[in-house]
Structure 1
Amino acid sequence: MSDGQEEARKLSPCVENSHNMTEGMGAEQLKEAANACFKNQDYNRAIELYTKAIELNPSAVYYANRSFAYLKTECFGYALNDASKAISLDSSYVKGYYRRAAAYMSMGKFKLALKDLETVTKARPNDKDAKIKFTECSKIVRQMAFERAIAVDDTKKSVAEAISADLENMVIESDYAGPMLVDGTVTLEFMLSLMETYKAEGKLHRKYAYQILLQVKQMFMTLPSLVEISVPDDSKFTVCGDIHGQFYDLMNIFELNGLPSPTNPYLFNGDFVDRGSFSVECIFVLFGFKLLYPNHFYMARGNHESESMNKMYGFDGEVKAKYTPKMSELFTEVYNWLPLAHLINKKVLAMHGGLFSRDDVTLDDIKKIDRNRQPPEEGLMCELLWSDPQPQPGRSASKRGVGVQFGPDVTKNFLELNGLDYIIRSHEVKSEGYEVAHDGRCITVFSAPNYCDTMGNKGAFITLRGSDMVPQFTTYRAVSHPNVKPMAYASSILSLIC
């Protein structure tokens, strides 16, 4: 958080309206206080105040406002429910349809979003903004339909095969001075040069980029959906959470904890890309280290290693801007082969999202998941990528609208069934960069500090020793980066949300 943001928060009516001071306030006063919090990006406090206002007066306006705050905190399921409630209370309230369309699009449900935007344009035929958003969403729906119609069947070449055939014809220009693969092989010298090139805002030649993608795809294809990792008693192992395209913060992790090596192994637990505008740099560094140290560098799929998320939140646009649409298609193929979970010393299970809607899931069930596809909207693969813990026992509907929320009893039962000590997951911003929940059995780690340049959170990583597997946490603040804002390559349709 910048000094200016901090000062604004100090002066904000949001801060002045503490929990005690809201006693006796009317619904409209609570809404105004919540609006002040929202403007200062204190979305969680805004949600609390909107909730109090709704308790006093359940109006469509308050539900729609809370829906917007939920959108900002990526609780898309809750945002959808609130928008729908606003519409049910006042079917003529146009903002409710706007909010619901935004929630649908955030969840990749573009057809449903288009239906709501159509309602808005009919209600406000002269609203130019509504017409633009309707047109943009229509383009996405048509494009998706077109892509399905021309989808490559199993008998035809994959993108990887087509690119492999063309690779020899790709020319390295004589003035190219960046990192070079020798005989197509990633070396430590190449990785050091690559990171320095990226720090200086340089670019890897497309031929080498394609070679890395083709090689890493072949490597991932040989791995099971659940990868087992053995950490010797006298060795350290590091687990990092979401990076989200924050390349310079990734470099800071390596400064703090050392570069990956056979004696300094890492697991990156999903969501390497999207939102941050240096996602290409992040993913090629991570893939490069995977090729360099295949048995000491691990990567798990996150919910953002998917085609629909990449099209919305910037990675697809960034790849197209820095390389080609064909490379974006190849990334989709590569992501489909990323492992879904890692078992460390047979005691700790790491996945991006969380646990399941069933009590009988075993490690063997995870191993058997057919992962070579886009994430489904339900089932074990979906829940590994999308689920979140909750403090209360049992399960509840996901705040994201995908996956489930699971309580401490669910975690306890899963661990006992599978003979595990605890789980490590990522997927959620935490103010300290990590959170220990469920009696120490569910640990969240999030490694993107000051997420999207606005959240003010710390980043963190976990280090374990093979001898005891006790988690140790290192936290850090964001470092500076070139003046390219997060979401610079994101879909224009996100103007519905931002």
Structure 2
Amino acid sequence: MANTEEITGPVSQEDIEAAEKLKNEANEYFKKQDYNGAIELYTKAIEKNPNNAVFYANRSISNLRLENFGYALTDASKAIELDKAYTKAYYRRAAAHMSLGKYKLALKDFEYVTKVRPNDQDAKLKYNECNKIVKKIAFEKAISVDNMDMNIANSINLDAMTIEDDYNGPALEDGKVTLKFATDLMEHYRQQKKLHKKYAYKILIDVKAYLQTQPSLVDIKVADNQKFTVCGDIHGQYYDLLNIFALNGLPSETNPYLFNGDFVDRGSFSVECIFTLFSFKLLYPDHFFMSRGNHETIDMNRMYGFRGEVTAKYTSPMADLFTEVYNWLPLAHCINNRVLVMHGGLFSRDDVTLDDIRNVERNKQPPEEGIMCELLWSDPQPMLGRSPSKRGVGCQFGPDVTNAFLQRNNLDYIIRSHEVKNEGYELAHDGKCITVFSAPNYCDTMANLGAFITMNGKDLKPNFTTYEAVPHPYVKPMAYANSLFSILCQS
């Protein structure tokens, strides 16, 4: 729900009481993790009484939970405008800034709280933690993995890594992924065991080398009688990934897949997900496809757990190598010249063509605007035209934008992911814009179904399979996330 501009002024006692009641109802929805329901009620409370900073701060944290960082930022700023001494609002705004990679702006909010509350030890702790992050990022930039002269993959000495005698896990055969390796790896991970670092590094080096040969827009040909499967976000939910393969069959040359970004972060089995997917990519390079999502980026990985998980399970240099690999993931795929698949959505410009996507120089962290950014971040909206993004990045696009893009590029429809849907999928824009989300009960809290799409090459008609979450070992989502960010987003 969009945040509207409220006109402040005198409010009757009756409206104040009604607003307080709505806020209390909203708090109950929030406790049940129904964040959309909570936002709706906080919005109604604001309509009754637009002068209460708490309502905005509460709506801000609800939007943070839904990754609506733009809305969360606006609400936190409004709460601060109404009550400059409201500490929690500064923390909300800091969390929104951190989500958007604006760490220095987050630090300013913490600094302000420490100045107005010099004896507040909690504020001091948060300021110090954020300051550490800012300094660490400055240091990382100085030796940056974005520095094109630096190549982590070339600096890895595989020959110096020995396989210990007691290692009894999956092994590459002559340095190659085989079907036996892939299936052994899945079972190994199911038992919560670790792949040897030598094999892990070899997979990353080989995947990077392959991805460097690929265009930013990959064309996929599917034969008339062949099945093709598109999956949405996985977000580190490894046991649900195994369930997809149980329901739909393992990837193979006769059972091709496209995974549409956000393989990692939030879920705490992201390492297991990404190495399983990369193994199939190496095994079936022409029948297994992977698009970059907005979470295959350094800022998201730093905040939402993947970088922490790789560092905990392996090393910090491996986390840097992942960043290098992710920079080469394709940004979109086109099936039989008729269906375009990208993680986020369409564009703030009317004149974008498939060739424009093909010509994007993708080997970098996504910019804050333009084609690459919007492919990873944009969302559809029901109303015509375009709106600023609820996420604070990319844009929101209406059915007219979708239709014009499809006509210009001779396409039938688009598939995108990027948003949790209760049924695991959603048809928007008269069925021309399909969202698919494959992480059921997202973050163990959302109670949504997961879904994947199957189609055949002849008519490309989308068929939807939905499924519930399966049990997984007791490791909480965000277990490896930045500790300061986790505190801000949970409190």
- Whether TM-score is above 0.5 comes out as yes
Q: Offset of 1:150 from its aligned partner? A: 2.8
Aligned residue among 31, 46, 62 for 1:39: 31
Task: Give the TM-score, by structure 1 length.
Answer: 0.94
Whole-Å separation in 2 of the counterparts to 1:295 and 1:329: 27
1:472 and 2:463 are equivalent in the alignment: yes
Q: Offset of 1:56 from its aligned partner? A: 1.1
AA in 1 matched with 2:61: F
**Partner of residue 318, structure 2:** 327
Give the SS at the match of 1:120.
helix
Give the SS at the match of 1:130.
helix
Aligned residue among 111, 116, 130 for 1:123: 116
**Partner of residue 103, structure 1:** 96
CA contact (8 A) 1:273 1:282 kept: yes
AA in 1 matched with 2:108: K
1:167 and 2:144 are equivalent in the alignment: no
Mark the runs of 5 or more structure 2 residues left unpaired by the alignment: 1-14
AA in 1 matched with 2:45: A
**Partner of residue 196, structure 1:** 187
Whole-Å separation in 1 of the counterparts to 2:16 and 2:400: 38
Give the SS at the match of 1:463.
strand
**Partner of residue 12, structure 2:** none
Whole-Å separation in 1 of the counterparts to 2:90 and 2:319: 32
CA contact (8 A) 1:241 1:425 kept: yes
Structure 1 residues 186 and 152: alpha-carbon distance in aligned structure 2, compared to 1, 3 A threshold: closer
Give the SS at the match of 1:132.
helix
1:212 and 2:200 are equivalent in the alignment: no
**Partner of residue 77, structure 2:** 84
Q: Offset of 1:154 from its aligned partner? A: 5.9
Structure 1 residues 76 and 235: alpha-carbon distance in aligned structure 2, compared to 1, 3 A threshold: same
Aligned residue among 404, 427, 444 for 1:413: 404
Q: Offset of 1:43 from its aligned partner? A: 1.0
Aligned residue among 401, 404, 422 for 2:395: 404
Mark the runs of 5 or more structure 1 residues left unpaired by the alignment: 1-22
CA contact (8 A) 1:383 1:404 kept: yes
- What RMSD, in angstroms, separates the aligned Cα atoms of the two structures? 1.3
**Partner of residue 176, structure 1:** 167
How big is each residue's C-alpha offset from its partner over 1:226-252, in whole Å with a ceiling of 9 and x where there is no partner? 000000000000000000000000000
- The 5 Å alignment of 1:383-462 reads 383-462=374-453
How big is each residue's C-alpha offset from its partner over 1:36-68, in whole Å with a ceiling of 9 and x where there is no partner? 111121111111111111111112221111111
Aligned residue among 239, 243, 247 for 1:248: 239
Q: Offset of 1:156 from its aligned partner? A: 4.3
**Partner of residue 305, structure 1:** 296
AA in 2 matched with 1:151: S
Q: Offset of 1:114 from its aligned partner? A: 0.5
Give the SS at the match of 2:301.
helix
Aligned residue among 465, 481, 486 for 2:472: 481
Give the SS at the match of 1:423.
strand
Q: Offset of 1:95 from its aligned partner? A: 2.0
Identity of aligned residues (%): 70
Aligned residue among 341, 357, 360 for 1:369: 360
**Partner of residue 130, structure 2:** 137
Aligned residue among 27, 39, 45 for 2:19: 27
Whole-Å separation in 1 of the counterparts to 2:86 and 2:323: 39
CA contact (8 A) 1:436 1:444 kept: yes
Whole-Å separation in 2 of the counterparts to 1:39 and 1:203: 36
How big is each residue's C-alpha offset from its partner over 1:56-89, in whole Å with a ceiling of 9 and x where there is no partner? 1112221111111111111110000111111122
Give the SS at the match of 1:457.
coil
Whole-Å separation in 1 of the counterparts to 2:57 and 2:474: 33
Structure 1 residues 291 and 129: alpha-carbon distance in aligned structure 2, compared to 1, 3 A threshold: same
**Partner of residue 496, structure 1:** 488
Whole-Å separation in 2 of the counterparts to 1:152 and 1:217: 14
Q: Offset of 1:135 from its aligned partner? A: 0.9
**Partner of residue 158, structure 1:** 151
Give the SS at the match of 1:118.
helix
Q: Offset of 1:91 from its aligned partner? A: 2.1
Q: Offset of 1:152 from its aligned partner? A: 6.4
Aligned residue among 47, 60, 73 for 1:67: 60
CA contact (8 A) 2:203 2:279 kept: yes
How big is each residue's C-alpha offset from its partner over 1:459-487, in whole Å with a ceiling of 9 and x where there is no partner? 00000111100000000000000111111
CA contact (8 A) 1:94 1:123 kept: no
How big is each residue's C-alpha offset from its partner over 1:368-402, in whole Å with a ceiling of 9 and x where there is no partner? 00000011111110000000000111110100000
AA in 2 matched with 1:83: A
Structure 1 residues 154 and 318: alpha-carbon distance in aligned structure 2, compared to 1, 3 A threshold: closer
1:49 and 2:41 are equivalent in the alignment: yes
AA in 1 matched with 2:186: M
Whole-Å separation in 2 of the counterparts to 1:51 and 1:333: 42
Give the SS at the match of 2:465.
strand
Task: Give the TM-score, by structure 2 length.
Answer: 0.95
**Partner of residue 94, structure 1:** 87
**Partner of residue 16, structure 1:** none
CA contact (8 A) 2:16 2:48 kept: no
CA contact (8 A) 2:344 2:378 kept: yes
CA contact (8 A) 2:440 2:469 kept: yes
CA contact (8 A) 2:387 2:397 kept: yes
CA contact (8 A) 1:133 1:496 kept: no
AA in 2 matched with 1:54: I
Q: Aligned pairs, how many?
A: 474
**Partner of residue 230, structure 1:** 221
How big is each residue's C-alpha offset from its partner over 1:376-433, in whole Å with a ceiling of 9 and x where there is no partner? 1111100000000001111101000000000111101100110001000000000000
Q: Offset of 1:94 from its aligned partner? A: 2.1
Whole-Å separation in 1 of the counterparts to 2:382 and 2:390: 13
Whole-Å separation in 2 of the counterparts to 1:264 and 1:258: 7
